Amino acid sequence: MMDIDNWWQGGVIYQIYPRSFQDSSGDGIGDLNGITKRLDYIVDLGVDAIWISPFFKSPMKDFGYDISDYCDVDPIFGALSDFDNLLERAHALGLKVMIDQVWSHTSDQHAWFEESRQSQTNPKSDWYTWADAKPDGSPPNNWLSVFGGPAWTWDTRRGQYYLHNFLKSQPDLNFHNPDVRTAVLGIAKFWLSRGVDGFRLDVCNFYFQDLQLRSNPVRDDERRGANPHDWQSHKYCRNQPENLSFLGELRALSDAYKDRCLMGEIGDIDGLPIMIEYTAGSARLHTAYSFDFLGRNHTPSHLGSILAAWQSAGDGWPTWAVGNHDFPRVATRWGGNHPSPAKLQLFAAFQLSLKGTICLYQGEELGLEQAVLEFHQLQDPEGIAFWPAKPGRDGCRTPMPWDSSLPHAGFSDAANTWLPVYAPHFEKAAAQQSRDPNSLHAFYKRLVAVRSSQPALRLGDLELAASTKNVLRFDRTLAGETVHCIFNFGATPVELATEEFTGDILLASGLNENSASPEIAPWGFAIIHRKSE
């Protein structure tokens, strides 16, 4: 059994996308003081921590994931004093605070890059990944940007190409340079010393690239989507062995502080093996999540195979997210265009019954579906580049609806907001749901409370049980206590064995246990506590 004295083990983390959470200044963009204003709402959900997406100085080409100063707050979001107030208030309410750290790349307006691009001999000339052109003038290899096109841009001042795995305004740092690693660890120390409880590490498997800059091979399964980036197997532009050494340095730094957590994002289509590797032992990440639950496939066989792979892999601690600011909302992705309340409850119950740390994205507790926007409303550079085949990430980033009786659903007093509040979201606003004991919001509160009150659910082992085509079963066990979990992902009722109901039902939906043949309705579930013998 692992050490379970850490708040993040089994905890529930609520992700906040600050641009869209709450505007306090009247400019149509969410900010840090807006988050502080809504902390009581988050505490009322019963979660353990918040994770705040980037709020640092940035030209906002990628809405904060292109950072020009890691140790200051962008004026759009407020000031450092506003963050300090937020941190103090959250801690007073018993909430831990995690912040995003985006270290694989900076903005091209960062002072480091502005110096690096001036010449091949300046003090920061080797702080980014630069390479000579091929003899024919083309880029040094076939690497592609996540946002489309080559991952290389020619810079006339240097007479070289620079690498950018994302936008051309997001040049990649050269982590092979020890000065870069030292500078990044200095950023981490700045925020840890300020009192943050941990980091979410953006694409932490992108820090190093192959020193020989070898071209990537074609994917074996020859996937063909809207983005050619996904046609490659990214063997040389990420997931390099040097990553582990740096994560060890970072872990040693964080362990010098009390009760801190490093949660990595594994940015890869096939990220589970890397997620397992990066959390093994006690000298790497505390926890990590991959994209395995962020796709559309949610059949019991698929979900079960992911859990089985994790269970057989080693001693790490997983994090599970079914939604975030980069993927279509789970209500639509798994539930369809008009998801039923039963489906939304099922998806939530499944996620919050898992062994690991749980990440909830803002609005999931309200059942917000993916917003549909017109092309002229888009802000996301990915959506603009791949429209209409892949409309991008704006649909999961529209403002949070707080009160349906107010303009912009209470998100802002501005005449216009940076993205519009999606009209169907008004009827799902937090104020209205919080007054309804039968709402999805009320269900989430009960579900989080059940998880928090049951040690076996929060910290116990997970043992997969016999499952059928539409039904996934597993047990959570700890110190002689068992919580039996059953989930019907199908559109037809499923008969169950009577012995499955031995114990106390903690939470259930669509469960008929009184008939001669007990059954669970379509999209139903049951979480049952079995007393120790």
DSSP calls for 245-286: HHHHHHHHHHHTSSS-EEEEE--STT-HHHHHHHTSTTSS-S
CA 79, 327, 60, 146 torsion: positive or negative?
positive
User: Which pLDDT score is estimated for 315?
Assistant: 83
pLDDT digits (tens, 9 = 90+) for 16-39: 999 999 999 999 999 999 999 999
* DSSP H or E run through 97: strand 96-101
Instruction: Indicate if 481 belongs to the active site.
Output: no
Residue listed under structure tokens 């943050």: 196
Map 452-494 to HEC letters: HHCHHHHHCEEEECCCCCCEEEEEEEECCEEEEEEEECCCCCE
Instruction: Indicate if 202 belongs to the active site.
Output: yes
Please say if the pLDDT value at position 196 is more than 90: yes
| Rounded alpha-carbon distances, angstroms, from residue 276 to 9, 149, 313, 457, 477 | 16, 30, 7, 21, 21
* Set 155, 202, 277, 369: catalytic member: 202
Please say if the pLDDT value at position 4 is more than 70: no
pLDDT digits (tens, 9 = 90+) for 269-281: 889 999 999 999 9
* Residue 128, strand partner residues: 173
* Set 265, 365, 369, 380: catalytic member: 265
Residue listed under structure tokens 């926007």: 373
Contact (Cβ atoms closer than 8 angstroms) between residue 456 and residue 483: yes
Please say if the pLDDT value at position 236 is more than 90: yes
pLDDT digits (tens, 9 = 90+) for 104-153: 999 999 999 999 999 999 999 999 999 999 999 999 999 999 999 999 99
Provide the 3-class DSSP secondary structure of residue 173.
strand
Q: How many CA atoms lie within 13 Å of 300's alpha carbon, on the beta-carbon side? A: 21
The rounded distance, in Å, linking the Cα atoms of 317 and 455 is: 16
| Banded model confidence at residue 387, pLDDT cuts 50, 70, 90 | very high
What's the pTM value of the predicted model, to 2 decimals?
0.97
Please say if the pLDDT value at position 518 is more than 90: no
Domains defined along the chain, listed by start? 12-106+178-207+242-449 (3.20.20.80), 461-530 (2.60.40.1180)
User: Which pLDDT score is estimated for 532?
Assistant: 64
The rounded distance, in Å, linking the Cα atoms of 165 and 145 is: 5
